[in-house]
Amino acid sequence: MQDLVAALGLALVVEGILFAAFPDGMRRAMYEAAHSPSDRMRLVGILSAVAGLVVIWLIRQFG
């Protein structure tokens, strides 16, 4: 459970840094995401989840 909370906290830190450092770029990215087809968003979400699982698996195996 501590790992989950730490991971969520890290995600918030990274997101906050991106918004602080690149506000215009993040605004454009959010606009593009809001106007993307649902199928593309679903595919990106699935691919991101799989990539995250692979990273976690690699860290647990070889870290």
pLDDT tens string 8-38: 999 999 999 999 999 999 999 999 999 999 9
Rounded Cα distance between 63 and 60, Å, is: 6
Residue 63 clears pLDDT 90, i.e. is over it: no
Residue 45 clears pLDDT 90, i.e. is over it: yes
> Are the C-beta atoms of 41 and 33 separated by less than 8 Å?
yes
What's the mean per-residue pLDDT of the chain?
Answer: 95
pLDDT of residue 27: 97
E strand or H helix at 4: helix 2-21
Taking residues 37-59, report their average pLDDT.
Answer: 96
- Say whether pTM exceeds 0.95: no
For 22, the 3-state DSSP assignment is: coil
